Structure formats: structure tokens, C-alpha cells
Amino acid sequence: MSNSKVIAFYLPQFYPTPENDEWWEPGFTEWTNVARAKPLFKGHYQPRIPRELSFYDLRVPETRERQAELAREAGLYGFCYWHYWFGNGKRLLDRVFREVVESGKPDFPFCLCWANHSWYKKTWVADAPDKILVEQTYPGDEDYIAHFKELLPAFKDSRYIRNSEGKLVFGIFAPKYFKDFKNFKKIWNSLAEENGLNGFEFFAYTFAKKTLDFVKPMCYDRVVLDALKDSFEEGKRFSFKWLKQKINQLMHKPQYLITYSSYVHFALKRFKEMSGVTPCICPMFDHSPRSNGRGLILDKNNPILWGELCCKTKKLVESNACDNDKMIFVKAWNEWGEGNYMEPDSRFGRAYIEEAGKVFGKNTRA
């Protein structure tokens, strides 16, 4: 096993819900968009068809067990489940994680990242009206207390990921929108102490270098940097194909497209520049199943470059003597609707899992 905890973000979707039935169509899941995807240009890898786990339903416990087995093969320490709490007790996509906690299976470490953002219709279908499906709210102290109590069984679970001081790792996806974070942090740490827990290590998930100036005064314990968005901005800035990108935009063809090798180069550069942040690395990315030509696409991804990114990121993190809790985040394990996954597919099989396993070492936890 690696000296760093390698944690992959996990999307607890892939099963029908009453809300998705109402908003889209009966039985709608992320697989609906995945299966309908079409190539947008020559050589574009779409549709992406899952292999080995197939078009799974996450209500099936055996599927979740198999995911954990594959994650161990990849050297992952655990999963970070996306967690949805919209305020006043409103939750969505909570069934999978609830069953993981209640059943005690799979025996695989986990933590949570609060995906604190509103849901818009355009997120899943590019041509849909820009309508709010469910709004993220922050009602205040009483809601923070209710939120904590809802998750207390998970926090007391021995599988919950803790740092070296025994603090529970918990992420905030959109720190920019959570203005009351300092108060929230104080309340949750106090509640943790009352319940025999050692408190929290809160991390802020950030997409861009420019957001760090905002995050620093908020007193997060860790900053996780995903360099994907910055890499696209950098690619546009220095590309001599800017005119073609503008033409593509007018013709509704993909304009936010860079090669995976460019992303790897830029991400490593950004991680080196910004000491003190925790890297979040991406195996592949293609938002076109959701957004057609208006999404971000990493072109020409391949497992060898992914292995190189894993290796160099690991060396960078483990060379930081100041960090007693070395972590690397991966986005993502199974976000198929964004072409952002490590799970086996029909083109690469287990190659992404195998390349990561070579670098991080297999997780032999029983």
C-alpha cells in the first residue's frame, strides 16, 4: 500500500428515484445519458460501455462489494461518497450510502463530501431550460444540528476515514457558496465532542487556483485542488486554435477540448506550484453525454498516461515532510455521465485499475 491515503470520489446514483422519474422519465439514471451518447468528432470515444460490472444498479449489495474489490486492486484506501443535503432535512440519492452504513458492507473505508449546490435541469440535458430542480439552502444552526444527527451513525462507524489525530474527514464541494462555514464548523466540532468523537478535518474542494484566496480565510483544515478546469483555461489561453474553437462554439461543436497529455502536464505543474494543497487527479473526463458539445472533453486519454500521473503525484505528495496525513483524491471512481471513472469499460478493461495498482500497491485490507 502507498504511504498516502488514495481516496476516490464515488457517485451514489445509478438507481431509479421518484424525483428522477418525475423530472426526466421513468427509470432514469446516469446510465440513460451514457447509453445515448454519440461521438461528436472523428476519433471521439463515445459511447463508453461498462465492462465487468455492466450497467449496474447500486441497490444490489453484490455490486457494491465488487466495486470495493476492484478499488482494492487499484490501491485505493477508500471511497468519498457524494452526499446531498439541501437544507430542512431534504436529501437525495441517500439510499446507497445508508445501506452501506446499516449493513456494514462492503468492509471498505469511506468518508463524505457534501455536494452543496443546487440542481439545474441543464446539468443532465444540455438543451433543457435552465430551471432549478432543487435548491441548496442553509437554514442555520438547527439545520446544522439535524444534519449532524442524520449522519451520526456513519461518523461512529469504524470504517469512516479519520486522520492521524482521529478526526473525521469531511469535504465541502462548493466552499464559495457556504458563507456560514465557520459557524457550521464550530457547531459540528462541538457536537462531535459531545458524542465521543475527536472532531473533524474539513476539506474544501476547489476547481481553480483563483478560488484559494477565498477559501483560505474560511479556516478549512485541508484544501483539495482539482486542476481540471484550470487546465482547460490554460489550454485555451495558449492554443493557436482559438479561432477554430470560436467557430466550433457557433456551430455547436465541442470547443472545450484538450488532450489528456496536456492535462497531465498542466496538473502536475499546478500541484508543484501550490505547495500545501492536496492533489485531486482525474483518470479521464468527457462531459458530452450530459452536455453534448458544450461540455469539457479530455481527448486521447490512455491508461499509461494515467499511471504516469499517479506516479508523479504520489512522489510529489510523499516528498512533503510537513504533511502528516498524506492524501491523494481521485475524481472519480464511477461518474460515467461525465466520462470520469476508473471502473472497467469495453475499450480499456481493467487497465486504469491495474496502472493505479502498480503505483499505489494493492489494498490488502480484508
The phi-psi region of residue 9 (left if phi > 0; otherwise alpha if psi is between -120 and 50; otherwise beta) is: beta
User: Is residue 337 assigned to a domain?
Assistant: yes
CATH of the domain at 237: 3.20.20.80
Q: Residue 256 has which C-alpha cell?
A: 472545450
Backbone dihedral angles phi then psi of residue 85, each to the nearest 5 degrees: -135, 115
Q: What is the CA radius of gyration of the chain?
A: 20
Q: Is the pLDDT of residue 212 over 90?
A: no
Dihedral sign computed on CA atoms, order 294, 255, 10, 211: negative
pLDDT digits (tens, 9 = 90+) for 215-226: 888 999 999 999
Confidence (pTM): 0.94
Q: Which domain holds residue 311?
A: 5-360
Yes or no: say if 310 and 281 are a contact pair by the CB < 8 Å rule.
yes
Cα 337 to chain centroid distance, Å, stands at 12
Report the alpha-carbon angle 23-113-53, nearest 5.
Answer: 65
What are residue 169's DSSP bridge partners? Answer: 201
* Whole-angstrom distance, CA of residue 163 vs CA of residue 234: 34
In angstroms, rounded to a whole number, what is the distance separating the alpha carbons of residues 257 and 115? Answer: 26
Question: 365 in a domain, yes or no?
Answer: no
* Distance (Å, whole) CA 258 – CA 261: 8
Query: 34-72 pLDDT, tens per residue?
Result: 999 999 999 999 999 999 999 999 999 999 999 999 999
Give the pLDDT confidence of 280-328 residue by residue, as tens digits. 999 999 999 988 777 899 999 999 999 999 999 999 999 987 778 999 9
Provide the phi-psi class of 259: left if phi over 0, else alpha when psi is between -120 and 50, else beta. Answer: beta
Task: Give the alpha-carbon dihedral of 305, 306, 311, 317, to 10 degrees.
Answer: 130
Q: Is 85 within a domain?
A: yes
For residues 74 and 342, give the distance between their C-alpha atoms in angstroms, rounded to a whole number. Answer: 9
Q: What is the mean pLDDT of residues 60-85?
A: 99
pLDDT grade for 236, boundaries at 50, 70 and 90? low
C-alpha cell at 143: 439545520
Give strand pairing partners of 223: 204
Sorted by sequence, the CB contacts under 8 Å of residue 50 that are 6+ apart come out as 34, 56, 336, 343, 344, 345, 346
3-state secondary structure of 338: helix
Contact between 271 and 277 under an 8 Å Cβ cutoff? The reply is yes
> Residue 252: pLDDT above 60?
no
Q: What percentage of the chain reaches a pLDDT higher than 70?
A: 91
Contact 286, 295 (CB under 8 A): yes
**366 domain-assigned:** no
Cβ–Cβ < 8 Å for 83, 11? no
Written as nine digits, the cell of 48 is 463508453
Q: How far apart are CA 182 and CA 196, in angstroms?
A: 21
Per-residue confidence band for 129, with pLDDT thresholds at 50, 70 and 90: low
Do 172 and 114 contact (CB within 8 A), yes or no? yes
Please give the angle made by the CA atoms of 105, 59 and 101, to the nearest 5 degrees: 30
Domain count across the chain = 1
φ, ψ of residue 358 in degrees (nearest 5) = -65, -35
Q: What is the pLDDT of residues 171-202, one digit of tens each?
A: 999 999 999 999 999 999 999 999 999 999 99
Q: Which of the 8 DSSP states describes residue 52?
A: S
Residue 176 carries which DSSP code? G
Sequence-distant (6+) residues with CB within 8 A of 264 are: 305, 308, 309
Helix (H) or strand (E) holding 238: helix 228-238
Give the largest CA-CA distance in the chain: 60
- Residue 114, strand partner residues: 83, 172
**Between 130 and 278, whose confidence is greater?**
278
In-domain check, residue 296:
yes
Q: Where residue 366 falls among pLDDT bands split at 50, 70, 90?
A: very low
Task: Check residue 322 and give its pLDDT.
Answer: 76
The amino acid occupying position 90 is K
Range scoring the smallest mean pLDDT among 216-220, 229-233, 362-366: 362-366
Integer Cα distance of 321 and 326 in angstroms:
9
The answer to whether residue 334 is domain-embedded is yes
Instruction: List the single range of 79-88, 134-143, 200-209 with lowest mean pLDDT.
Output: 200-209
In the predicted structure, residue 2 carries a pLDDT above the cut 90 = no
Q: Is residue 225 part of a domain?
A: yes
